[in-house]
Each structure stands twice: as structure tokens, then as C-alpha cells.
């Protein structure tokens, strides 16, 4: 009984003399998972390191153990980094870069994160290191998955179109979409369509499709993309029904919004359409004018060369006549 009491007392004194005791440490989420990675795919997942009482700087050391895929996995902060004093939550990003020659199979393992004092234990004390484990599992598949959803949409104010010479440059609708790519290859909407009605939403005034190639969003990420649509509407407020197409025939999202058209020259820095927004007739006329101008220049050069050659020959003949005389 006495021995047990002495042992408890010694243990208590040891705990008091231990200055490097850390509060609780955890991670969320405690895993990195993806069931459908394609070759040449980049995948990221944020992990939050959480500690209860951040009273000092701690040094974190990361060890990756995923057989067959260690070289594909990296941490944005590196294999060693400092958790600063005063920050109870510290985010890191785990990246997986699947090479083009990766085997089609499942890869499993873990990432170990160990915390220790940034300055080390002082002499005569005991240092305690805390650790946590991130489970890793992902599949590399021989399949391209095209899947995305639209999280938000927004339309900016625009100006009416304007005429330059005989050409009409329409107003440009900039329709912004926040797209979440759920597939394993880069994706973008194939097109966007606007059916635009009067302010009451009764009479349809025009139906237009996007004219630009919409930027693609990388797999497993969220990105902002913009569709550009021409309009010939006069200044005013209109109702529009938009349709976002996943394929030329499949609608992935649709809804209604208000379109505000302002007079030409109203918005500072506004950039309307250039040649891409012209009608087919106006584009054809520009091509014809450029073609005619090119032919005229070529004909003028041809005539100039002929005249030059003619005067050169006359000069030679004149010189020969003078020599004979």
C-alpha cells in the first residue's frame, strides 16, 4: 500500500514538472478520399488541424505512407511546419497529382501528423508529442466522368448596342456562373440560352445563345465562369429565362432573373462586343470590304510595277540611242 502511494506521488510530481504538456489535438476531416480519379488529375482536400489551448508554437512533422502513390501526394505547408501560438485552427491542403502512367486500382494508406514543441523540452523535463492520422483512399479509374452543378448565377448591368459606320455592335450580356465540378475531367457548360421578355414577363422579345467558348473548371474544384450573349434591346428593364446546357441538348440548370440595359456610354470601363458580336450579314459585309480593298491594293501594286518596268525600258532605250549618236 505504501509503495502504491509513493508511486502516485511521484507520478503527480512528474506531471507538475512537465512543461511541454499540450492540450488536445485533432484533425477534421480525418480522411482523404476520392473514388473516381482519372489519370493526369489534380485533386485537393483541405484538412483542419485543431488544438484546444494554443499557448505556444508547435512543430508539426508529416509522414506520408500510401504504397504506390507516395510521390503523388504533397502538403502545401511542406513536410515540416510551425503551428503558431494563438491559432487553435490551422488549415493544410493535401494534394494528389495522378500521373499519366498510374495503374488503374485502389490506393490506400495514411498520413501521420506529429506535434512537438518548437523549442524542444527544457533540461530535466519530459516532452510529450501528440499525433493524429489521416486515412487515405482513392481509386484511379479508366473512365471519364462529366458531372457538374451550378451553385450561383449573376448578371451585370450592360449597355445597349451602338452603330459604327454601317455596322451594328450589339450589347453584351455577361452572365457569371459559379460551377462546381463533380467529375474527374475539366468541364464547362456547352452554352447558355436567354429568352428575354418585357418587364411583365409576357411578350418574348428575343432569344439568344452564348457566343464565347466558356472556360473549363478543373476536376473536384469550384470556379467562376462567364458566358457572353448578344442583345439588341433598348435601354430598360426586362425579364429573362436562362438555360445552362451541359450538352447541346441537356439542360443542367435554369431560372429567371432581371436584365437591366443602360444607354450606350453610361457604364465606365464597360466593354461591349467587337467583331464576334456582329450579325452574319455585317460580318459578311466586313469580309467583302476587306477582300475588295485587298484586291484594289494588289491591282495598284501590279500597275505600279508595270509602270516602273515601262519607264525603266524607256530609259535603257534612250541611253542606247544617245550612245549611237
User: Is pLDDT at 7 greater than 50 in this prediction?
Assistant: no
Q: How far apart are CA 29 and CA 35, in angstroms?
A: 17
Whether 170 and 210 have beta carbons less than 8 Å apart is answered as: no
Q: Is the full-model pTM beyond 0.85?
A: no
**Cell reading at 46:** 483541405
Judge if 19-140 and 148-281 fold alike in CATH terms.
yes
Whether 145 and 36 have beta carbons less than 8 Å apart is answered as: yes
Whether 137 and 106 have beta carbons less than 8 Å apart is answered as: yes
What homologous superfamily does CATH list for 148-281?
Immunoglobulins (2.60.40.10)
What CATH architecture does domain 19-140 belong to?
Answer: Sandwich (2.60)
**Domain spans of the chain, in order of start:** 19-140, 148-281
Q: Give CA angle at 139 (80, 146), nearest 5°.
A: 110
pLDDT, tens digit (0-9, with 9 covering 90-100), for 140-152: 999 999 999 999 9
pLDDT, tens digit (0-9, with 9 covering 90-100), for 15-54: 333 333 345 788 999 999 999 999 999 999 999 999 888 8
Amino acid at each position: 500500500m505504501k509503495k502504491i502511494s509513493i508511486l502516485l506521488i511521484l507520478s503527480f510530481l512528474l506531471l507538475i514538472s512537465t512543461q511541454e504538456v499540450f492540450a488536445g489535438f485533432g484533425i477534421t476531416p480525418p480522411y482523404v478520399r476520392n473514388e473516381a480519379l482519372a489519370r493526369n488529375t489534380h485533386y485537393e482536400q483541405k484538412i483542419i488541424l485543431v488544438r484546444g489551448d494554443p499557448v505556444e508554437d508547435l512543430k508539426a512533422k508529416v509522414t506520408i505512407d500510401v504504397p504506390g502513390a507516395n510521390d503523388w501526394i504533397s502538403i502545401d505547408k511542406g513536410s515540416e511546419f510551425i503551428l503558431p501560438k494563438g491559432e487553435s485552427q490551422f488549415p493544410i491542403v493535401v494534394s494528389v497529382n495522378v500521373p499519366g502512367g498510374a495503374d488503374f486500382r485502389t490506393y490506400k494508406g495514411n498520413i501521420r501528423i506529429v506535434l512537438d514543441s518548437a523549442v524542444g523540452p527544457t533540461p530535466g523535463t519530459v516532452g510529450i508529442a501528440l499525433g493524429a492520422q489521416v486515412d487515405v483512399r482513392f481509386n484511379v479509374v479508366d473512365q471519364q466522368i462529366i458531372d457538374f452543378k451550378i451553385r450561383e448565377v449573376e448578371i451585370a448591368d450592360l449597355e445597349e448596342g451602338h452603330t459604327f459606320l454601317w455596322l451594328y455592335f450589339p450589347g453584351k450580356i455577361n452572365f457569371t456562373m459559379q460551377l462546381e465540378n463533380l467529375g474527374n475531367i475539366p468541364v464547362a457548360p456547352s452554352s447558355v440560352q436567354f429568352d428575354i421578355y418585357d418587364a411583365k414577363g409576357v411578350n418574348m422579345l428575343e432569344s439568344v445563345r452564348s457566343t464565347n467558348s466558356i472556360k473549363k473548371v478543373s476536376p473536384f474544384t469550384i470556379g467562376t465562369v462567364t458566358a457572353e450573349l448578344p442583345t439588341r434591346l433598348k435601354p430598360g428593364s426586362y425579364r429573362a429565362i436562362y438555360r445552362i446546357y451541359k450538352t447541346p441538348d441537356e439542360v443542367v440548370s435554369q431560372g429567371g432573373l432581371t436584365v437591366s440595359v443602360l444607354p450606350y456610354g453610361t457604364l465606365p470601363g464597360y466593354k461591349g462586343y467587337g467583331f464576334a458580336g456582329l450579325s452574319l450579314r455585317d460580318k459578311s459585309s466586313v469580309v467583302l470590304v476587306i477582300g475588295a480593298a485587298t484586291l484594289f491594293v494588289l491591282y495598284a501594286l501590279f500597275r505600279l510595277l508595270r509602270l516602273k518596268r515601262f519607264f525603266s525600258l524607256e530609259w535603257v532605250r534612250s541611253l542606247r540611242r544617245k550612245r549611237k549618236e
